A and B are shown apart, each in its own frame.
Chain A
Amino acid sequence: MRYAEMGYHLEVDLATGNIERVETDPKITELHLGGLGTSVKIHWDRVPPETKPFDPENLLVFSTGLFNGTPAFSANRTVVTFVSPQSELLAYPMMGGFWSAELKYAGYDKVIFKNKSPKWVYLWIKDDHVELRDASHLKGTGALEVQDLIRGELHEPDAQVAAIGLAGENRCFTASIEQSRSSSSRLGGGAIMGDKKLKAVAVRGTKDVQLARGDEFMKHMKDVMGYINFRNSNPIPDVMTIMSGIGSPQEMVHTDEKWHSESFSWGNARTRRKNFWTKEIEESWTSTQHAAIKRLISCFNCPQHCGALISYKDVPRYMMKCFSKLTYAMAANVDDLGFSFRTVQRAQEYGVDGFSTPQILAFAIELKEAGILTDKDFEGAPPDKEGRFIWLLDRLVRREGIGDVLADGTYWAAKKIGNGAEEFAHNLIKKHEQLPIKLSMLDPLYFLMYSTNEKISITQIEGNWPQAAFATREQRERFVKEWPQLPDEKFKQYLLDWEPRGEKGIPYFPTPDMCCEIVDWMEMLHNIDDALGVCAGMASFCLKPPYHINNYPQLISAATGMDVDRDELKRKVNRSRNLHRAFNNRRGMARADEKPPKDHWKNRFPELEENLLTTYYRYKGWNDNGIPTRKRLEELDLGYVADDLEKRGVLTNGHG
């Protein structure tokens, strides 16, 4: 009997149409848990570093996590892994929604796609019945629209469908995979699906997910439920509204956007508008939002309300979540929030990443204003900024004209355009567009998170540690008073000593040693969430979350029957973290790539930054080039990885 996991993968060869149900080795679960952890292992074993993103050998893996389908609240993430066309590294954008639990109930932990289909297909999984079905009639349909079309033609109203739109079909590098109210957006999973001519994956399951010690598991879950109720009725004081609760940022609930609209940059991550949030704007945005939101909704088995059904004027209905509410309006420099509610529907049907895409469009506008792109590139574009923005989006997803160049994202587009365009692709880490935020003083914690994490997207690395120091000692004391989520009591002192400015403020405090410990804690928790399929909004991505390092081991032990303590849990995710890094190192990633955008902070400290990076690498057991040492790898039972890295010359004499 397998507990929490189903013990089977689906292996789909799109070239031949061969589908196999393959039993998995429980030892791999013991070593790598599940979700991202076990997926990384598959990519390491089967995707050699020579593989290019659009090679048939680039595997596309849809994975559940260990807790999907169990009664664990908010365990609903699907992890999609592939070599990204944008970063050319192993990407793992995740989505919430309902798909992963359904796959578990159908009897599988992962679906692994290899090779390319000669014609458009979708995969239909209903328990033991699995078939590739013709999708030629669905080509060109929207990523949301097609989900209902597939449910209709299968006569399966309860099927959950993950699908691509036009952007994925046309291999746009920022194409997303959409599903219900969620999307797996970052780094171009939709492009890989499109390249494989896979329009959608539909699933319906009616099997049992077993728990090893169900009674014990539910006893712990009752405590988690109690804490969720407590946190929902006791927001954290002294922090911004958006940081005070649990769940993903409650963008559909809250209307106060003073912080986002004034602290984040408009246009191509370019201009801060420090006095934007006037009384008139507040009234207009609040009434627009209330008029647009029909109902607040959640993902599978989650009590929060991070998403919403949107019914805005004559725009066809769709579902929205999180920060996409602002990205299009801000990138287009449009003050009307209605522009976002209108544009996101179109963008979602096209299936594009709501962070990167608006920046790419704003980048094109900047290039036009700078004379690098010409009237000819914009031939046919409407004169108004709203219309021009939509026109560019339409071109991008169809790869028409200038859209064909923009569809590869700002890094690759700038290279193609040349003539100084590279300077305008300024908001990148590892070739990937980042949050449009530009700040004053270097933050050593964020410097490390931005630079070193395999996620490459900051939004899902940070979390348990406050984003900024509290202004007063009294506030700090209030915050540390009840903090059961801590891995070590010493963090309380770090926080008490941390001041907004001066000697005990950024960039020199927390010290590099403290920063390593704090960052290591946060990324560890993200890695656990990503192995379990738990939404980061209920664990690693928020302050004082319901799930943490002090209750996860008991939950994992009761669910799986493996006896896992804190140290062992940390070791398991550390193993996967190092394997992921080694995969990327093997593809060429090293220290030189580990840097935030040049203009991310106005005040930079090159010597301190180098010191931070070196200190962190040593803390992690990596050499000064950011590559795990043989010693570190062997401690994590990854001696075979050291052998491989040495054979390829990535590590030399264990030092690199």
Chain B
Amino acid sequence: MATVKKRIRTIKVDADKCNGCRGCEVICSAIHAQPKYSSVNPARSRIRVITHRLQDIWLPVFAGEYARSECAGREVYTIAGKQYDECGFCRASCPSRGLFKEPDSGLPLKCDMCEGEDRPQCVEWCLSHVLTYEEREEEVEEEAEKLEDLQIGLEALADKFGVEKVKDAMARLSRSE
């Protein structure tokens, strides 16, 4: 298979510096609002700070891939004496929890590294320097085209309601347009 150059974008998270303010959640939801900056709602954010204050856990986690089913089992991590909950580090929008889903529709959310901006805005607005953005190029094998947001959303709806119902709803919507 042919190789292509791929831009790898990384956000390094230094959780030890996190002061727990959740400003990243605020700016993320604001920049992804339609129109941009028209509203704020951390429940729509693609980054969430998992918080257990007295356990000294402030852990920023980014929304990753949509997963249609739960994991077969759960893990609990203990690191430096701190016990992280089941699913604590997981980025998936999945049926086992409310995280990384649009609160009204339940559609999955995924970090897009603020496509269209110079760099992710959570990095820009975190004044405690928890988040650092890095870019590099890597030679990788060519892969099949990635799913667009719309298709991910449609798949999630089909999983939740069944393909037939989604098709019916789309037909109704098309007629009313």
Contact = CB atoms under 8 A, between A and B. Distances in A.
Contacts of A70: 40
14 contacts: A98-B22, A181-B53, A208-B44, A209-B39, A209-B41, A210-B38, A211-B37, A214-B37, A218-B37, A298-B21, A300-B21, A311-B56, A317-B56, A318-B54
A210 B41 CA distance: 9
Interface of A: 69-71, 73, 98, 105, 148, 157-158, 180-181, 205-211, 214-215, 217-218, 225, 228-229, 232, 294-305, 309, 311, 317-319
A71 B56 contact: no
Interface stretch (B2-10, B27-35, B137-145): B27-35
Given A98-B22, A211-B30, 5 more contacts: A105-B41, A206-B41, A214-B33, A214-B35, A217-B37
Contacts of A304: 19
Given A214-B36, A218-B37, A71 B43 contact: no
B103 interface: yes
B56 A295 contact: yes
A215 B36 contact: yes
Interface in B26-80: 26-27, 30, 33, 35-44, 51-54, 56, 58
Nearest to A306: B19
A215 B39 CA distance: 10
Contacts of A225: 125, 127
B43 A206 contact: yes
A301 B56 CA distance: 18
Contacts of B23: 73, 301-303
B105 to A, nearest CB: 12
B42 A317 contact: no
Given A295-B56, A298-B19, A303-B127, A209 B40 contact: yes
A369 to B, nearest CB: 39
Contacts of A311: 56
Given A215-B36, A303-B128, A208 B21 contact: no
B38 A214 contact: yes
Interface range on chain B (Cβ under 8 Å from partner): 20 to 34
A206 B101 CA distance: 11
- Max chain A CB contacts within 10 Å: which of B35, B54, B103, B128? B54
Given A206-B103, A215-B37, A317-B54, A301 B21 contact: yes
B144 to A, nearest CB: 35
Nearest to A299: B21
- Max chain B CB contacts within 10 Å: which of A105, A206, A217, A229? A206
A217 B33 CA distance: 14
Secondary structure call for the A interface: loop
Nearest to B40: A209
B95 interface: no
A216 to B, nearest CB: 9
B40 A229 contact: no
A105 B27 CA distance: 15
A309 B54 contact: yes
Nearest to A304: B19
Given A71-B26, A218-B30, A303 B36 contact: no
A206 B104 CA distance: 9
Nearest to B128: A303
A148 B54 contact: yes
A536 to B, nearest CB: 17
A621 to B, nearest CB: 39
Given A294-B56, A296-B19, A298-B21, A71 B42 contact: no
Nearest to A296: B19
Contacts of A71: 26-27, 30, 37, 40
A209 B125 CA distance: 19
Given A71-B26, A303-B23, A211 B53 contact: no
A512 to B, nearest CB: 41
A561 B3 CA distance: 52
B39 A210 contact: yes
A497 to B, nearest CB: 37
A255 B22 CA distance: 27
B91 to A, nearest CB: 17
A306 to B, nearest CB: 9
A214 B39 contact: yes
A208 B40 contact: yes
A217 B125 CA distance: 15
B161 to A, nearest CB: 21
A305 B22 CA distance: 13
Contacts of B35: 214
Contacts of A206: 41, 43, 103
Closest 9 CB pairs of A and B: A214-B37, A303-B127, A206-B43, A206-B103, A208-B39, A298-B19, A208-B41, A298-B21, A317-B54
Contacts of B153: none
